[in-house]
Structure 1
Amino acid sequence: MRTPVATTSSRPPVLRLRVIARYALSERIIALELEAADGMPLPAYEAGAHLAIDCRPASDYANDPAQDEPRLRHYSLCGDPSNPMVYLIAIQRESDGRGGSRFLCDDVRPGDLLHASTSSNLFPVRWPAVGPNSTPPQLLIAGGVGITPLIAMAWALDNAGIAFTLHDFGRSADAHVSAQLSTGTRWRHAVRRHVGRGQDLVALIGPPEPHRHLYVCGPASMIDAVFETAATLGWPHDHIHTERFTAPTTGAERPGGEANAEGGHHADGPFVVEIASTGQRIPVTAGESVCTALSRAGVRITVSCEQGVCGACTTRVLSGTPDHRDWVLSADEQETGTVFTPCCSRSRSPLLVLDL
């Protein structure tokens, strides 16, 4: 997996996007269709990629976006990746969220301009090494708004001639986002819709096959159940792929395992980060995140979810041992200790030197 790494000197180019359509997909979820403000083709993307949208109201947006801290929120692109003229995203309104979804759902209308950037893809399609005729059907499982990245995967797999089955779990029959997003597509008959979670996951997932991959996105409890069932059935870990929109609230196992202190240092206690480019040392107290400490010292990096699930803030570590508390880095990436997510992760050593 290629990981986006934060720097203080560069950011993804800002895209000026015009809203060309807005419509409801369910009671809580809306869709926005976006085009380039200049009418030119949009940057290409692969299924599973996000669009990072600056959710500051227009009245708060400076003429030079770099002058102010962006309020970035990441949304999965859920259209046809082969269409260079339109981006499609779906947003679930969260009344108790941090304001991004309320801004997009309540305030944004067709004709409005949004500022955004594409981000690295942490949930890509794993393309089989054999041809479409030799590839078994891929398995996509979604719950609620977790359907969004899988819709783009459905488009991509169909465009490549690879068969798949997409299982869409919703709380009620009218909560299935896939109903509208698959209308008129060649692959609409590959969608299976389920109300509630009473399905037999053992029968739905089935035994593993060579070149068959499983992709799951949705509520944490559903993701954990799918992972556990697939593992019990013997699926290889590297054939099960997920993206989380929120960190689990239960004691689910994180990819990196347990953290250990070094030299008597407690991972929950204070430590120091050093900015490699300047030598500046910044204390991180026991009650704050690394991102908060960096911001307090005037060092800005891109931050979005603040829960360790999106990867936007991933930063390279030059020295020291991170205490990984994220849900986005793979076990191998965490084991190397060369990158970490400063929005939630801490340090097992008294000092971390960051490539900033």
Structure 2
Amino acid sequence: MDREAEFDMVVAGRSTVAADVVALDLARADGGVLPAWSPGAHVDLLLAPGLERQYSLCSSPADRSSWRVAVLREPDGRGGSAYVHDKLDVGVTVRVRGPRNHFALQPSPAYLFVAGGIGVTPILPMVEAAHAAGADWRLVYGGRSAESMAFRDELARYGDRVELVPQEERGLIDVDDLLGTAAPDTLVYSCGPAGLLAAVEERCATWPTGSLHVERFSAVAPTEPDAPFDVVLERSGVTVHVPAGTSVLDAVRAAGIPVLASCEQGTCGTCETVVLGGTPQHRCTLLTAEERAAGDLMMICVSRAESPNLVLDL
């Protein structure tokens, strides 16, 4: 299934896996086999008009009969988690788009996984894959309390490869001790709160290029001021002006060009667009340093232009 495909799924199972965290098992409404996916993938749940949210798949990729997502209720959120907790009971149908993967697990002889809170969800299938491949791996998983940490029982089967760090008992993850010295031939995968990811990135700055892979659940505030520019839509034969304070996505849509988007925060990858000319100013959280340097892709919901204009494959 390509990244723009959508279909109906039914909540086939629902369970509470931690304080304020529910896990949903989703099966195709038509009973069909699900598309293949790889560790790190997520899907979009189209919950209601104007309410789309992205959740990591945390089941086994080998299971083609159902997908599992886990959702933390966020009292100060934008409504998605409350909708899932309050309305998606067993038997309810929900529209799903995906899967899509911008956090793919790369082959390596060794891995260090660092998860915080609900950020453990994309890590679960990675751990399964690393274990099955016979890699040397370790997971350090932090949370506010033991009761808030989802899938503890599931992870227990891996023994001392998994270290649980409940903050109320042990404090925060000691990233200095964990990442202060680069480990040879080791990839680091981390997902969790912004503070944890910032600390992980800082300590991994001295690791070999390409060692660290992170996934964020929220946008990063831009450091550059907005400037106006023009966008040439190559396939449509239209040039669109993008004023300061207006996204490329909104400007393109206002010109009558339909573009698929979901999070509109630069975190999901739905609006990924090929750049044919010009230099993007990347503001998403998805592209690697190498992909940013290549400049041939951009997320038009948040990213802008370094050059006077961009040429896009739209």
**Shared topology, TM-score over 0.5?**
yes
TM-aligned CA distance change 1:96 to 1:273, over 3 Å: farther
The 3-state SS of whatever aligns with 1:213 is strand
Which contiguous aligned blocks of 4+ residues in structure 1 show a shift greater than 6 angstroms?
A: none
1:230 aligned partner, one-letter code: C
For residues 63-98 of structure 1, the C-alpha deviation after alignment (integer angstroms, 9 at most, x for no partner) is: xxxxxxx74321110011111112010112233433
Q: Provide the residue aligned with 2:179 in structure 1.
A: 205
For residues 121-149 of structure 1, the C-alpha deviation after alignment (integer angstroms, 9 at most, x for no partner) is: 11111112xxxxxx34x211100111100
| Equivalence map 1:52-71=2 (5 Å) | 52-56=44-48, 71=51
Q: Provide the residue aligned with 2:302 in structure 1.
A: 344
Structure 1 residue 281: Cα displacement = 2.1
TM-aligned CA distance change 1:188 to 1:296, over 3 Å: farther
For residues 276-333 of structure 1, the C-alpha deviation after alignment (integer angstroms, 9 at most, x for no partner) is: 1121222222121111112222222222222222222111111222222222112222
TM-aligned CA distance change 1:307 to 1:51, over 3 Å: same
- Asked whether 1:195 is paired with 2:153, we answer no
TM-score by length of 1: 0.80
2:54 aligned partner, one-letter code: H
CA RMSD of aligned residues (A): 2.3
Structure 1 residue 19: Cα displacement = 0.5
| Equivalence map 1:228-239=2 (5 Å) | 228-231=202-205, 234-239=206-211
Separation (CA, whole Å) in 2 of partners of 1:16 and 1:282: 35
Among residues 203, 219, 222, which one is paired with 1:247 in the alignment?
219
TM-aligned CA distance change 1:169 to 1:53, over 3 Å: same
Separation (CA, whole Å) in 1 of partners of 2:31 and 2:134: 30
The 3-state SS of whatever aligns with 1:25 is strand
Q: Provide the residue aligned with 1:221 in structure 2.
A: 195
TM-aligned CA distance change 1:144 to 1:114, over 3 Å: same
For residues 249-293 of structure 1, the C-alpha deviation after alignment (integer angstroms, 9 at most, x for no partner) is: 597xxxxxxx7xxxxxxx722222222112122222212111111
Aligned length: 310
2:6 aligned partner, one-letter code: V
Q: Which stretch shifts more, 87-96 or 166-175?
A: 87-96
| Equivalence map 1:120-269=2 (5 Å) | 120-128=100-108, 135-136=109-110, 138-182=111-155, 186-187=157-158, 189-196=160-167, 197-205=171-179, 207-231=181-205, 234-248=206-220, 268-269=226-227
Separation (CA, whole Å) in 2 of partners of 1:140 and 1:95: 28
Separation (CA, whole Å) in 1 of partners of 2:40 and 2:240: 35
Provide structure 1 residue ranges, at least 5 long, that are not aligned to the other structure. Answer: 1-9, 61-69, 129-134, 252-258, 260-266
Provide structure 2 residue ranges, at least 5 long, that are not aligned to the other structure. Answer: none
Q: Provide the residue aligned with 1:33 in structure 2.
A: 25
Cα contact 1:81–1:155 (8 A) shared by 2:
no
Separation (CA, whole Å) in 2 of partners of 1:38 and 1:193: 39
> Which of the pair has the greater relative contact order for Cα pairs under 8 Å at 6+ separation?
1
Separation (CA, whole Å) in 2 of partners of 1:15 and 1:287: 34
TM-score by length of 2: 0.90
Cα contact 1:151–1:181 (8 A) shared by 2:
no
1:187 aligned partner, one-letter code: Y
